[in-house]
Every structure is written in C-alpha cells, then in structure tokens.
Amino acid sequence: MAALFLLKIIHGIEDKHIIVMSSRRKFLSDCGVLAGGAGFSYLTLGNTYWHEISKTKGKSSGLTLRFKPYDLHLKHVFTIAEGSRTSTPVMLTEIEFDNIIGYGEASMPPYLGESHETATAFLGRIDLAQFASPFLMEDILSYVDKLVPGNYAAKASVDIALHDLVGKLMKQPWYKIWGLNPARTPDISYTIGMDKPEVVRLKVKEAAPYKILKVKLGKGNDKEMIETVRSETDKPICVDINQGWTDRSKALEMAHWLKDMGVVFIEQPMSKDDFDNTAWLTQNSPLPIIADEAFQTMGDFRKVQGVYSGVNIKLMKCGGLRSAYVMIKMARALDMKVMIGCMTETSCAVTAAAQLSPLVDWADLDGNLLIDNDIFKGILIKDGKIVLPDAPGIGISKNNI
C-alpha cells in the first residue's frame, strides 16, 4: 500500500516538529509528482506546511518519517571553478519511534543533480511501516538504497536520521558504538572560496581558530589566491581545484610550486573523467592527489585505484554513514589516504560525518561554519581540532531559530 501523506496544522515552531514555509502553489508543484501515485492529502494553515509519512494503514510499525525543504544561507558568496552561489537547498528529515526522534539531512549542491523536488519525490516513496524495529538497520537501509537508483543525498538524509534514532535508543554516540577513539579526531580545515584579495584576507582572518586552510583554486588566478593567503598566514594549506585544470604539464608545474608554498595535498585537479592524465599527474606529483568529484560511491574504487593517492568521502555522495564506514575500510585496505568531507550543511550532517573522523587522515567538515542559519548544534572545534559530542546518536541538538 502506498505511503499516506499527512500535512498537519501546527502553531509556531515546536522542538518536535519542523515547519515548511511555502506558498500553496509551490507546495503543490513540489509534491505534484507524488499526487498521482502515492495517495496524499494535506491540511493548511496560512502558508505553513510539513510532510509526514507515518505507519501505513493495517500495519503495526511505529516508525514515522517526516521531511521538509530548507535553504541554507552562505555568509559569503561561495565561488569554485564551476561557478558561484549564495545558498544551498537541503532537505531536513526526522524518523520517530517510541517518541524518540532521529534527525537527518540531505544537502544538494548543483553538481549532485538533486533538488527539493527530487528529494520530495524520493522520500515520498519510502514505506518504513514494513519494518518492525529501527534496529533492523541493514534491512531498512538496503531497502532505501534499492528503492530507486541515485538520489544519494536523499538516501543519506534517511540514513543519518536512522543512525541518530538508533544511537539515541542505545543511549550512545556512534563513535562509541563503532569503538572509535575520540582523541584521534584530526584537525579540521576551513574553506576559503575564490574572491577578491581583500575578501580573501578577511576570510583568512575569520579562519583564525583553525589550523589548516582549504583554498579553492582553478579559475586562472591560483597563484594570486595562494599568495594572498600566504600574506596573512603560514598555516598548512590544502587546495581544491574542482576539476579546474586541463593541462597536465602545467598541473605538475603548479604542484611543485604549491609544495614550495606549504600545500599538503591537491584535491580533484582535473576532470573527473580524465583518468589517464590524472594518473600521470599522481605518479609525478610531489603532493598527494585526492579524488572528489571522480569518487562518489563504493563502485568508484575500481576507477580511482592507481589513479589517485586518496579519496574524499562525503555522506551526500555515497548515501550516508553506513556506506561511508565501509568505504573508509575499503580505502585503507587499498592503502589510500582518506578524507572525510561535506557539502554546505547544517551541524546535523556535519556532526554525523564527524563520528567517523577518528578513522581518517583529514577532515573537511566546515560546511556548518559557512552558513548563518544553522538550526542544529553539534561538534565543537577546540584548538583547531574536532571535539566529538558525548550526546547519543549523532550528537546534535536543535537551535531555536
């Protein structure tokens, strides 16, 4: 039986529920793809909406899935080799069982090909009523993964919420459930997007609490960007080219120059499809070459092994914590470096990813630091290092904004 959509009236923001602000027309547009097959209904109060998929009629499951679209506002215009943006669409999720709520999130930057509309359509198909307990995590997440191809960010939002819920039911944070040592968390990097020199200097000053800077390059002003950062600090730098380089000889020349400038690794220097030239660059580069856009899911190990020095694992690319944990183990088995990264995200997804950070070489988990409307509290940074919360689940609480 198709999942039933319930849109309930609520007054104000409650800790237990998330509110969607949208016009009636936009809501129907967002969810119209669902109306033909899922049998959904809605109630309205002014312009306030929220989506709930609860137990299907005739089934006894106590699992309830809720979701709402949300837009993250960036503190600065975010510019990479592929373009600029001032916001990122996300989908916030909840899974409730026995009055305990687990929180999740899907962050959907343009290159992932997901949106509020696609996430609404995907999440609207999920029927958790067939599962008697949230502890059936393998069964639940296998079902979600196989429901339709792709939609990895939307899948991650369910995965994160389920991990948060189960951890809360167990009354333990996930790093303890996995047996990880919180003292082994790495320093966190702070991202400096491409901008005018005076703005770059301001961003470097804002990054004073952090010991590593991640600088975006790839639009032809690479040396100016690095020299501007170096005019303000001598901290270690990692660089992310976002596929911006096209000539392997010039790329190798830049790699040597970057090493002399105190750079520790280069992320995704060339096109994600240019395996031959990237392999040549990795073989000759004085710096490790890390795959990002070229590496998303477990199946991509076949493509990147021997081509890159390491991989950047992100929950939004691979479908959540379940996949990310296995991928870290696989990367280590293949003797590859590992970075745990993020998109522009709230503290929900960032803190979830941080649960895995004791297993990795580098952590680029600053997506929550780049926005001004975070609705969660999670990881802390002390002396530039990740401090994992001792709270159960993924370790977050909600802000009242």
Pairing of strands 51-53, 380-382: unpaired
163 and 315 in contact (C-beta within 8 Å)?
Answer: no
Same domain, yes or no: 154 and 188: no
The pLDDT tens digits of the residues spanning 241-274 come to: 999 999 999 999 999 999 999 999 999 999 999 9
Strand 310-314 vs strand 337-341: parallel, antiparallel, or unpaired?
Answer: parallel
What confidence tier does 83 reach under pLDDT thresholds 50, 70, 90?
A: low
Q: Which of 54-58, 207-211, 308-312 has the lowest mean pLDDT?
A: 54-58
Pair 370, 291 in one domain: yes
- pLDDT at res. 382: 93
In this structure, which amino acid lies at residue 157?
S
Mark whether 200 and 74 lie in a shared domain.
no
Same domain, 196 and 307: yes
At 400 the pLDDT is: 64
Residues 6+ apart with CB under 8 A from 254: 222, 245
- Split into its structural domains, the chain has a count of 2
Q: What is the mean pLDDT of residues 212-217?
A: 96
pLDDT at 232: 97
Mean of all residue pLDDT scores within the chain? 86
CATH code, 124 = 3.30.390.10
Could you give the CA distance from residue 94 to residue 18 in angstroms, rounded to a whole number? Answer: 9
Domain boundary among 171, 195, 215: 171
pLDDT confidence tier of residue 28, bands split at 50, 70 and 90: very low
What is the residue type of 94?
Answer: E
Average confidence (pLDDT) over 211-221: 95
Q: What is the pLDDT of residue 1?
A: 35
Q: Where are the beta strands (DSSP E) in 100-161?
A: 100-107
* Residues β-bridged to residue 263: 237
Whether 91 and 123 have beta carbons less than 8 Å apart is answered as yes
Under the banding of pLDDT at 50, 70 and 90, the label for residue 356 is very high
From 43-47, 63-67, 233-237, the region with the lowest mean pLDDT: 43-47
* pLDDT band (50, 70, 90) for residue 340: very high
pLDDT at residue 52 in the model: 74
> Domain ends where: 123, 147, 171?
171
Are 221 and 348 found together in one domain? yes
Domain co-membership, 166 together with 196? no
Task: State how far the Cα of 72 lies from the Cα of 372, in Å rounded to an integer.
Answer: 8
Residue 320: closest CA among 211, 176, 166, 206: 166
Q: Are 76 and 55 in contact (CB under 8 A)?
A: no
List, for residues 110-160, the tens digit of each pLDDT value. 888 999 999 999 999 999 988 999 999 999 999 999 999 999 999 999 999
Secondary structure in 3-state letters for 30-63: HHHHHHHHHCECCCCECCEECEEECCCCCCCCCC
List the CATH number of the domain containing 265. Answer: 3.20.20.120
Q: Say if residue 51's pLDDT is above 80.
A: no
Give the mean model confidence (pLDDT) for residues 220-244.
97
Clarify whether residues 207 and 286 are in a common domain: yes
Asked whether residue 145 falls in the same domain as residue 159, the answer is yes
Q: Which of 117, 141, 171 is the last residue of a domain?
A: 171
Cα–Cα distances in angstroms (integers) from residue 212 to residues 8, 19, 191, 337, 387, in the given order: 46, 37, 9, 17, 16
- Tokens standing for 196? 């005018």
* Residues 241 and 274 placed together within one structural domain of the fold: yes
Asked whether residue 224 falls in the same domain as residue 268, the answer is: yes
- pLDDT interval class at 32 (50, 70, 90): very low
Domain residue limits at 195: 175-398
pLDDT for 359 beyond 60: yes
Residue with tokens 């299907």: 56
pTM: 0.84
The pLDDT value given to residue 38: 34
C-alpha gyration radius of the chain:
21
Helix or strand (DSSP H, E) at 354: helix 347-354
Q: Are residues 160 and 221 in the same domain?
A: no
Are both 167 and 196 inside the same structural domain? no
